[in-house]
Amino acid sequence: MSKYDVIVLGSGPGGYVTAIRASQLGFKTAVVEKESLGGVCLNWGCIPTKALLKSAQVFEYLKHAEDYGLSVKEADKDFDAVVKRSRGVAEGMSNGVKFLMKKNKIDVIEGFGKIKPGKKVDVDGKEYSADHIVIATGARSRELPSLPQDGKKVIGYREAMVLPKQPKKMIVVGSGAIGVEFAYFYNAMGTDVTIVEYLPNIVPVEDLDVSKQLEKSFKKSGINIMTSAEVTSVDTSGKGVKATVKTSKGEEVLEADIILSAVGIKTNIEGIGLEDVGIAVDRDKILVNDFYQTNIPGYYAIGDVTPGQALAHVASAEGILCVEKIAGQHVEALDYGNIPGCTYCAPEIASVGLTEKQAKEQGLDIKVGKFPFSASGKASASGAKDGFVKVIFDAKYGEWLGCHMIGAGVTDMIAEAVLGRKLETTGHEVLKAVHPHPTMSEAVMEAVAAAYGEVIHL
């Protein structure tokens, strides 16, 4: 039996980062992976979807070349080539993780891992042991009883990335990050897209102003949006698919080539030995303390399988904290109130902290500032005037409670708010920090100025 200090189950952005940090700390480390290094994020999620979205963005630029004083004749797309590029990007990133495993002297054990009592892991019949076992098995597309996936006419995000043929009509059920990103991609490629959202607003976790702006931008792009709507049944017996949608006005039947189910995720905790070891689970999540220790000593869990936000950067941060705590370092528990969320449709969405509604529900006295990109010189020059930056501050102490952005490139801007909140900056300090002109990022300063009644360019 091979003996390790740390064995990590799963090699997604939680697992492989955990393994690398463990190795850096001097632990003899192994990672178990049943498919491809990098997990869903690198192979079927974060990275390849961004490649698809970039192709869509470039295609849109070509279609609107005249807006920039340019002439492009007969701009068209090759759907197969777009998908192929995306897969190539994913493969390159996965190979990069292989290199990192070798560089950090981490053993990669291929196969399906199952934890056992006594700090052991069984991988397809072969046993390994470790002082510390970290579960990082991630999640997959969730299926609704009324929307069973067959992988052909009713699909999840994985199939949506590698469709052999571009559909003429698509119904996207769910308007979280996955749903709106694919809705944007397929609409930009020329597919007739309808979004069906159960709640009253699309991207329902976002600030209400952001939701309204995205709906406005999407409708302008030709995406059909149905909110407060529920798919109650599907019929796949014909050539395409029919979806019965229940709304406040009654039932409506939608027809399409394909339905994409984007109604959330289901954790991969079945069959990995949790019951055999006695690890506590509640509502599909493994219960852990602030440093990811389960109720059984020597067993830990990070990433999507735990109650925190199901985001790649959260999983990475949790894994690093977990092994640093194991190594005896002094570490602070992760602040889940300061986790940025990003959605890469067009316009992009990025946010951190409290929404305006949440702040008011907490009874806080707040200052709210908003600066539209239509008033930004850089946005005007770039032809990307949709959207805004919205900031929320505590009126008494100036604490930065929340920041919500929608517009071009905002996923690269949100880190300013995350860092500012981490350093407990105040609105006055952000306002007096000189921002470069002309940039999209100066909209942050302008929004803060708006909150304090000092806005210049609005």
pLDDT tens, residue by residue, 318-354: 999 999 999 999 999 999 999 999 999 999 999 999 9
pLDDT for 108 equals 96
Helix axes 15-24, 79-103, angle to 10 degrees: 20
Average pLDDT over residues 213-240: 95
The stretches of 340-386 forming alpha helices (DSSP H) are 356-361, 377-382
- What does pLDDT average to over the chain? 95
Average pLDDT over residues 51-80: 93
pLDDT digits (tens, 9 = 90+) for 108-137: 999 999 999 999 999 999 999 999 999 999
Q: Position of tokens 């830990």?
A: 300
Number of domains in the chain: 3
**Collapsed DSSP state (helix, strand, coil) of residue 392:** strand
* 3-state per-residue secondary structure call for 257-286: CEEEECCCEEECCCCCCHHHHCCCEECCEE
Identify whether 163 is part of a domain: yes
Choose the final residue of a domain: 230, 263, 296: 263
Output the six-digit token pair for 228: 């407060």
pLDDT for 71 equals 92
Which residues are annotated as catalytic?
437
- Phi/psi-derived region of residue 47, left when phi > 0, alpha when psi is between -120 and 50, beta in every other case: alpha
pLDDT for 375 equals 96
Q: Which of these, 270, 286, 301, 293, lies nearest to 140 by C-alpha position?
A: 270
Identify whether 418 is part of a domain: yes
pLDDT for 353 equals 98
137 and 271 in one domain?
yes
Identify whether 66 is part of a domain: yes
pLDDT digits (tens, 9 = 90+) for 300-324: 999 999 999 999 999 999 999 999 9
pLDDT digits (tens, 9 = 90+) for 376-420: 999 999 999 999 999 999 999 999 999 999 999 999 999 999 999
368 and 324 in one domain?
no
Dihedral angle over CA of 84, 87, 92, 93, nearest 10? 150
Domain of residue 161 covers 154-263
Q: For residues 150 and 402, what is the distance between their CA atoms, to the nearest angstrom?
A: 41
Identify whether 457 is part of a domain: no
Percentage, residues of the chain above pLDDT 90: 93
Q: For residues 105 and 100, what is the distance between their CA atoms, to the nearest angstrom?
A: 8
**Collapsed DSSP state (helix, strand, coil) of residue 120:** strand
CATH of the domain at 439: 3.30.390.30
Q: Residue 18 — pLDDT band, cuts 50, 70, 90?
A: very high
361 and 311 in one domain?
no
Q: Which of these, 91, 98, 111, lies nearest to 16 by C-alpha position?
A: 98
pLDDT for 209 equals 97
17 and 99 in one domain?
yes
Choose the final residue of a domain: 284, 312, 336: 336
Q: How far is CA 239 from CA 131, 166, 170, 172, 242, in A?
A: 55, 15, 14, 18, 10
pLDDT for 39 equals 87
Task: List % helix, strand, coil for the chain (3-state, nearest 5).
Answer: 35, 25, 40
Would you give the end-to-end CA distance of the chain in angstroms?
69
Q: Is the pLDDT of residue 290 over 80?
A: yes
173 and 227 in one domain?
yes
Average pLDDT over residues 440-446: 96
Average pLDDT over residues 171-191: 96
19 and 120 in one domain?
yes
271 and 258 in one domain?
no
Choose the final residue of a domain: 229, 263, 297: 263
pLDDT for 178 equals 95
Q: Which of these, 318, 329, 330, lies nearest to 293 by C-alpha position?
A: 318
pLDDT for 75 equals 87
101 and 123 in one domain?
yes
273 and 257 in one domain?
no
Identify whether 98 is part of a domain: yes
pLDDT for 191 equals 97
Q: Is the pLDDT of residue 45 over 90?
A: no
Percentage, residues of the chain above pLDDT 70: 100
Q: Residue 190 — pLDDT band, cuts 50, 70, 90?
A: very high
Q: Is the pLDDT of residue 1 over 80?
A: no
pLDDT for 430 equals 96
As beta bridge partners, residue 209 has none
Q: Residue 40 — pLDDT band, cuts 50, 70, 90?
A: confident
CATH of the domain at 297: 3.50.50.60
